[in-house]
Chain A
């Protein structure tokens, strides 16, 4: 478990070269437009919000929605000084995160 967490983190850092949106409202907008490729959720978000985003992503057939650690951790993984609960990747850039995501959740 710990190992996969670190690999996600490293890929989130690479994500800086691609395009992403942080925050609940913006991720929803991206999902609605269909431009989001992957949605990442922190594990301490409110459960209702979590299931709402999962539902939207399920309808939009968007990549995979995966739970990392805390929202503080997700924020640091993105290189930000604030907390991030929800995150949507629009363009992957150098990151291999979108390819490796399905494998991890498939393994679960």
Chain B
């Protein structure tokens, strides 16, 4: 591409709020995360001071993914699994909070 771009993975649908009173099944349902993977122009991104160190498998998540929809789906699955794991440990709270705008 002629402009400076970056491959971005992130959360599409945020996990819903959980309270103490919810049963296990309900919690499991509400903790679901939908992820996206996309290539963005740098000028359409805003950098933040937050960082998330998560190992994302570069062989699965890379730029060639966009040619093949099946591969793209697989990449999103991979990212989703990683994100959900991290969400359950309760770290990086900011990342999993709904971005309000």
Contact at A56–B47, with CB atoms within 8 Å?
yes
A32 at interface by CB-CB < 8 Å: yes
Contact at A59–B43, with CB atoms within 8 Å?
no
Contact at B47–A28, with CB atoms within 8 Å?
no
Instruction: Give min CB distance, B41 to chain A, whole Å.
Output: 11
Residue tally, chain B, CB below 8 Å to A: 5
Nearest chain B residue, comparing its CB with the CB of A33: B4
**Given A25-B43, A29-B43, also A59-B49 (CB < 8 A):** yes
B30 at interface by CB-CB < 8 Å: no
CA A28 – CA B4 in complex, angstroms? 12
Instruction: Give min CB distance, A35 to chain B, whole Å.
Output: 12
B42 at interface by CB-CB < 8 Å: yes
Residues on A with beta carbons closer than 8 Å to the beta carbon of B49: 59
For the A-B complex with A25-B43, A32-B43, A56-B47 known, give 9 more contacts whose Cβ atoms are closer than 8 Å.
A28-B43, A29-B4, A29-B42, A29-B43, A32-B4, A32-B42, A33-B4, A59-B47, A59-B49
* B residues at A contact (CB < 8 Å): 4, 42-43, 47, 49
* A residues at B contact (CB < 8 Å): 25, 28-29, 32-33, 56, 59
